[in-house]
Every structure is written in C-alpha cells, then in structure tokens.
Amino acid sequence: MKYKRILLKLSGESLMGEGQYGIDPKRLNQYAEEIKAVQDQGVEVAIVIGGGNIYRGVQAEASGIERVQGDYMGMLATVINGMALQSALESAGMYTRLMSGIKMEQVCEPFIRRRAIRHLEKGRIVIFGAGIGNPYFTTDSTASLRAIEIQADVVLKGTRVDGVYTADPEKDPTATRYSELSFQEAYEKNLNIMDMTAFTLCQENNLPIIVFDMNKPGNLMHILEGESAGTLIN
Ligand code: UDP
C-alpha cells in the first residue's frame, strides 16, 4: 500500500446518497465496505466527517440564529454523522472510536492526540467528530489539522467528482482533470480544493491531498495501491 496512515475526509452531503437530506444507510454501508477493504490491507484509517447534510453555520443567520451558535449546531451535526458512520463500520466488523472536539463523555471520547494515535496503532478506525471544536472553522480545516497531528501520510478528500478539473465538469463538458498539481499551481489557478485555512495547513506541513470520487466502488483501494484515480496535490 502506498500510504500507511490516511486521513479520509467525507462531507456530510456525501452521506445523503440519492436523498435530499439526512443519512442514507446504503451509502453508509458502501463506505464501510470500502474502508474495511483498505484496513484489511493494514492501512491505518482516521476519518473526519462533515455535517453539511444536517446543518451549516453559514445558514444560521438567515433564520435569525447567531453565526457562532450556528457553527456549534454544525459541529453537533458532525457528531450525529460520526455516530452513524461508527455504527456502519462496526456492523461491517471493524473496531472504532469516535473522538470529539467538544467534550460529550456519554457519547464519545474527547480528542486526545496521543490516544488517537494509539487507537490507530491498535487497528481501530478513528472518527473525528465536532470539527476542531471552534466556530468559524470547517471540517476541511479539521481534516488538515488532525492529519498533521496524527502524522497521517495523506489527506484523502472524497467528493462526488473524480478529482480537480480545469473547470466545473458538471457545467463545462470540455473540462479536463488534473492528475497532479503543486500547491502553488492550485493556488495560482484559484482551484477550489479546500478552504484556504485547510489548504495552507497542508501546504505548510508538506501534507499531500488527494481529491477523488469516494462513490465509485474500489476507488479508495485503487488510490492506496498507487493508481492515479483522482488528483494529487503536493
Ligand atoms: N464547524 C465549525 N468548526 C469546525 C468544524 C465545523 O464551526 O471546526 C461547523 C460549521 O458551521 C460548518 C458545520 O460545522 O458549516 C459543518 O461542517 P462542514 O460545513 O465543514 O461540513 P461538510 O461541508 O464537510 O459537510
């Protein structure tokens, strides 16, 4: 396997599957199978899950809720997704730990870096919920930060498209996919890979990002086998 320890970032929206909101159990089970396949090959897997299928802080103000309050609501949404994912992974036969950036002892462990690393070494899948625990951040930034903290080899950003394109492939049929890009190129071309905080954290810490289509069966494994199945930014 090309990478020994990975940080997989899944958006909340990806959990909706074909639905318009909420969590699609079929999608969860599909992800669990993909993750199990790579774990069976000895890869250590940490996951950051988003909350966009349930709530995002930016939508708060429109409904008269303060932004910061909305951000905490978004962070709690990621814990709900994390719990759902945890159940799916356990049903598929994996050992897991959900670690939260906000303390909620009855539900999950608090994030403690050394403990997270220990879980990974013991072959447990670690899910990081509640973002970094602070408002005005995103789960992409959480993915970059946690990946650096646990010394992951790569951030794998699972999306609906199979990489980074010259233009939006859902709108422009002439758009082509980059197989590899430097951080500098991605920045100069203004390619929206992650928000700037997340992107800069990876760049400054020499942490490669791979953007890939998590919904295509076998893709996660292909990437770990070293195939060019997405866009590598390094
Ligand atoms: N959030 C936050 N701090 C964090 C991570 C998340 O305030 O460290 C909030 C923020 O409001 C965000 C929401 O949680 O909109 C859900 O996360 P995100 O939008 O990143 O989820 P995704 O788009 O990946 O589903």
Fill in the DSSP letter of residue 169. T
Residues 79, 184: Cα–Cα separation, whole Å: 34
Q: Is 142 in the pocket of ligand 1 (CB under 6 A)?
A: yes
Q: Whose CA is closest to atom 23 on ligand 1? A: 52
Pocket test for ligand 1, best of 55, 132, 139 (most atoms within 8 A of CB): 139
Residues 91, 2: Cα–Cα separation, whole Å: 27
pLDDT at 168: 86
Q: Is 134 in the pocket of ligand 1 (CB under 6 A)?
A: yes
Q: What would be the CATH architecture of the domain defined by 5-233? A: 3-Layer(aba) Sandwich (3.40)
Residues 109, 83: Cα–Cα separation, whole Å: 12
137 labelled binding-site residue = yes
> Residue 155 corresponds to which tokens in the numbers above?
């951030």
pLDDT at 205: 98
Amino acid identity, position 188: E
Q: Average pLDDT of each block of 10 consecutive residues along the chain (234 residues)?
A: 97 92 95 98 98 95 95 98 98 98 97 98 98 98 98 96 90 94 95 94 98 96 94 97
Assembly ipTM: 0.97
Would you say 144 and 128 are in contact if contact means Cβ atoms under 8 Å apart?
no
> Residue 22 corresponds to which tokens in the numbers above?
């909420």
51 labelled binding-site residue = yes
pLDDT at 7: 98
pLDDT at 20: 87
Q: Is 198 in the pocket of ligand 1 (CB under 6 A)?
A: no
pLDDT at 169: 84
Residues 155, 169: Cα–Cα separation, whole Å: 23
Q: What is the pTM of this model?
A: 0.97
- The helix/strand/coil state of 154 is strand
DSSP codes, 101-138: SS--TTTSEEP-HHHHHHHHHTT-EEEEESTTSSTT--
Question: What's the CA-to-centroid distance between 34 and ligand 1, angstroms?
Answer: 24
Fill in the DSSP letter of residue 163. S
pLDDT at 192: 87
Task: Please report where in the chains the tokens 């010394």 appear, as a residue.
Answer: 151
DSSP codes, 18-50: TSSSS--HHHHHHHHHHHHHHHTTT-EEEEEE-
Would you say 192 and 159 are in contact if contact means Cβ atoms under 8 Å apart?
no
Residues 138, 145: Cα–Cα separation, whole Å: 11
Residues 230, 80: Cα–Cα separation, whole Å: 28
Q: Are strands 125-129 and 164-165 parallel, antiparallel or unpaired?
A: unpaired
Question: What's the CA-to-centroid distance between 54 and ligand 1, angstroms?
Answer: 10
Crossing angle between the packed helical segments 196-204 and 139-149, to the nearest 10 degrees:
20
